[in-house]
A and B are shown apart, each in its own frame.
Chain A
Amino acid sequence: MDVMPKWVDIIVVPLFSLFLAAALSALLILAIGESPIAALNLMIEGTLFRSAGWGYMLYYTTNFIFTGLAVSVAFHAALFNIGGEGQAMIGGLGVALVCLFIPWPHWTLAIVGASIGAALFGMIWAGLPAYLQAKRGSHIVITTIMFNFIAAGVLNFFLVDVLKPAGSMDPASANFPASTHLPTFQDIAGIIGFEKAFRSAPANVSFFIALLACLATWYLIWRTPLGYEIRALGKSGPAARYAGVRPVKIIMIAMMISGALCGMMAINTTQGESERLILNFTEGAGFIGIAVALMGRSHPVGVLLAALLFGFLYQGGAELALWTKIPRELIVVIQALVILFTGALSLMVRAPLERFFMSIQRARV
């Protein structure tokens, strides 16, 4: 029986979980010997009070939107895609190959080509574990984690042995040609007369692609027959079988869409920011995508909001690491707590709320 109204389920529960995660993190900050209030202030000032801060924050947000959407789509099919890191890495490889070996006249064309490359490569990297799950029953959580490790190896190989320019000591590819560089927010602001805004911040046009991806995902999941089948399979395998929904097909498609979205993240990081392929450019975004998807309840609007939150935390965390003793890994702890409270301990959060609503119902009767 549904006891709580839907809006409570979607908004109050994640907020309550966030509050608990924040409280525990504050305790941790205290234990290190810093002040949580000061830390929060530092984070807000460094991120929200300067346009460059927003620039950094939205850059990270773009990454998290892509990975958050990716995990959400997989969640709808009851698949846990932990392979975001690996899929993004291989997506980056795709971007690099497209940008380095095809002469693009203009960035508008380059971004289309790179998107196809990124999505395709990400799709393949997610498709392999999906195939193993669908056909052989191999648990997708373990295989995607293994593929993360393997992807790091593949990336390493390509950067050191294939794409590294001769004479360079840096495990990185050559710089992408200027015609593939994406306009940053600063560039965009410059066009309308604000040259000083978003100074050197990495946020770029791929942010808008991420927003489009949100919209497209919403339509896909709730308006198309494919989305219907993905959700049905995710809710009940036996029922899906009864209805003639083919599990192998849906698992493959859902994971490939998921992989494609993760791959797209590389447009932001590799084509948009570093403008060459480097090691470790994913920086944990694939994992943060899990927290984002859980907090956002696998809905594009929720994912967008959660991605904004985590973008703030990430950039704020960088500020904290710069000015205080608090290391960047604090963000990993916060991420873990959010996943814990929204995902695993959700009953702890829901039960008191449900009791509250039940007592209201009884009072009304």
Chain B
Amino acid sequence: MIDFLTLLQVLDSSLRLATPLLLVCLAGLFSERAGIFDIGLEGKLLAAAFVSAAFAAITGSVWMGLLAGIFASILLSLLHGLASITLRGDQIISGVAINFLAAGLTVVAAQDLFGQGGRTPPLKSGGRFEPLNFPWASSSKEMSEAGPLMQLYSELLSGHSLLVYVALLTVPLSWFVLYKTRFGLRLRAVGENPAAVDTAGISVIGLRYAAVVIGGILCGIAGAYIATSLQANFTKDMSAGRGFIALAALIFAKWRPWYALAACLLFGFFFAVDNRFQNILLPAWSLSCILGVISIALLSYVWRKDYLDKVVLGGLALGVAVIAFMVINSVWATGITSQVKIPVVFIQSLPYVLTVVVLAGFVGRAIPPKAGGQPYVKER
């Protein structure tokens, strides 16, 4: 159906799209392993994207942009830390507030600085992270003639921006820090039983702040990446829910660094397919068959379950069956083998639907850090 080169291009795209997810996911990992639930990752990502794009545009240097983006993200992390750790406030509300804060401030500041309706001007070279080509890699012209191994090397491995490689490196780095260092032991302990850490004479507050700052750094890199590498400027709400998808990936990955890589690559793959194949045509009969199978699978699942399961999932099954019916109906005149176009919005919603499916736990139950989301108060 598709040739090897196209597959490589899709995988290549997956890696690029997975990079911000991976960085944000690891940011969430450090934070949650220390017991701080961070739903404000989206806001940090957005804020870092804006600040890095703005600084890169103004100074002409992408490195200044990167540093500024990280700084902005750390500031928001400290705010979240202040609310969750020092003031023992509700961590979810703090995260939600930070998301809104970033969404509002970035547009206000962008409009004030650049007057372009809430976006930053496009970055020229020097203001972007350029693709790094490995030695002996074929250029895109030579690509179609090269052998499969060379294609793999040139297309998939070489030619990414620096930050992609940095992101990949953070995975083994995170694993090492978490499992092989004293800091990592203490960090994991503070997310499971902060009292154990406190009575051992270590500062719970210090560890937790360290965790959120690490998260801030990682989000900062991710933000700089999307605004200077993936795209060449900042636009309103460009984070597009990635901060939340990364959280789903984190749960999927059971809070472990290497699984997180796998999970984010998977999501990246779905994003890539989404981008590449806008017009997906399927023969009507195969589409209705797929839908029919889903419907029957749902119905048989709920057969022995309780009343609520029957109502909800049975209703869903019915809805799917209705859609299958409508598909058949729409091609009745032209014959059942004719093709049906899958609506674009459906494909665009796929990452979000996938997130819900992951969260629904049909891919296994995950046990979060025991002390997650609860502020630490000394017993009286």
Contact = CB atoms under 8 A, between A and B. Distances in A.
Judge A-B direct contact (beta carbons within 8 Å): yes
Interface of A: 28, 31-33, 80, 82, 127-129, 131-132, 134-139, 141-143, 145-147, 149-150, 153-154, 156-157, 160-161, 248, 252, 287, 290, 294, 325-327, 329-337, 339-340, 343-348
B312 A127 contact: yes
B90 A344 contact: yes
Contact of A132 (B87, B96, B356): B356
Interface of B: 39, 82-84, 87-94, 96-101, 103-105, 107-108, 111-112, 118, 241, 244, 247-248, 251, 308-309, 312, 343, 345-346, 348-349, 352-353, 355-356, 359-361, 365
Given A82-B96, A153-B349, A132 B101 contact: no
B43 to A, nearest CB: 9
B361 A136 contact: yes
B101 A346 contact: no
Given A142-B244, A142-B248, A333-B101, 8 more contacts: A138-B360, A143-B359, A146-B355, A153-B352, A331-B104, A336-B97, A343-B96, A347-B89
Contacts of B91: 344
A138 B92 CA distance: 15
A252 B308 contact: yes
A333 B105 CA distance: 6
Contacts of B100: 287, 332-333, 335-336, 339
Contacts, number: 154
B356 A143 contact: yes
Contacts of B108: 28, 32, 326-327, 329-330, 333
Q: Tell me the dominant secondary structure on chain B's binding face.
A: helix
A147 B356 contact: yes
Nearest to A333: B104
Contacts of A348: 87
B103 A136 contact: no
13 contacts: A82-B96, A138-B360, A142-B39, A146-B356, A150-B349, A153-B345, A294-B93, A327-B108, A331-B104, A336-B100, A344-B84, A344-B91, A347-B87
Nearest to B100: A336
B349 A343 contact: no
A340 B349 contact: no
A136 B247 CA distance: 17
Residue of B91, B104, B247, B251 with highest tally of chain A CB at under 10 A: B104
A137 B111 CA distance: 41
A333 to B, nearest CB: 4
Contact of B352 (A31, A149, A325, A343): A149
Contact of B359 (A142, A149, A248): A142
B322 to A, nearest CB: 13
Contact of A145 (B103, B105, B107, B244): B244
A141 B104 contact: no
Contacts of B93: 80, 294, 339-340, 343-344
Contacts of B94: 340, 343-345
A33 B99 CA distance: 25
B89 A325 contact: no
A311 B96 CA distance: 21
Contacts of A294: 93
A33 B112 CA distance: 9
Contacts of A327: 107-108, 111, 118
Residue of A80, A252, A332 with highest tally of chain B CB at under 10 A: A332
Contacts of A343: 89-90, 93-94, 96-97
A136 B308 CA distance: 13
Contacts of A136: 359-361
A80 B105 contact: no
A335 to B, nearest CB: 6
Contacts of A160: 345
Residue of A134, A146, A334 with highest tally of chain B CB at under 10 A: A146
B118 A345 contact: no
Contacts of A134: 308
A146 B345 contact: no
A187 B48 CA distance: 49
A138 B361 CA distance: 7
B103 A132 contact: no
B87 A344 contact: yes
Contacts of A129: 356
Contacts of A149: 241, 349, 352
A24 to B, nearest CB: 10
B361 A142 contact: no
Nearest to B361: A136
A128 B248 contact: no
Nearest to A338: B97
Q: Which 10 pairs, one residue from A and one from B, show the smallest C-beta to C-beta distance?
A: A332-B104, A343-B93, A344-B94, A336-B100, A333-B104, A344-B83, A336-B101, A138-B359, A153-B349, A344-B89
A172 B365 CA distance: 42
B345 to A, nearest CB: 4
Nearest to B42: A145
A333 B96 CA distance: 12
A345 B83 contact: yes
Nearest to B343: A157
B190 to A, nearest CB: 20
A329 B103 contact: yes
A248 B103 CA distance: 34
A109 to B, nearest CB: 28
Given A82-B96, A146-B244, A139 B83 contact: no
Contacts of B353: 146, 150
Contacts of A150: 349, 352-353, 356
Nearest to A32: B112
Contact of A153 (B99, B118, B312, B348): B348
B107 A131 contact: no
Contacts of B308: 131, 134-135, 248, 252
Given A132-B360, A149-B241, A329-B103, A290 B87 contact: no
B346 A157 contact: yes
Contacts of B361: 136-138
A137 B366 CA distance: 10
Contacts of A333: 100-101, 104-105, 108
A346 B89 contact: yes
Given A332-B100, A343-B93, A131 B312 contact: yes
A341 B360 CA distance: 33
A141 B39 contact: yes
Contacts of B248: 142, 146
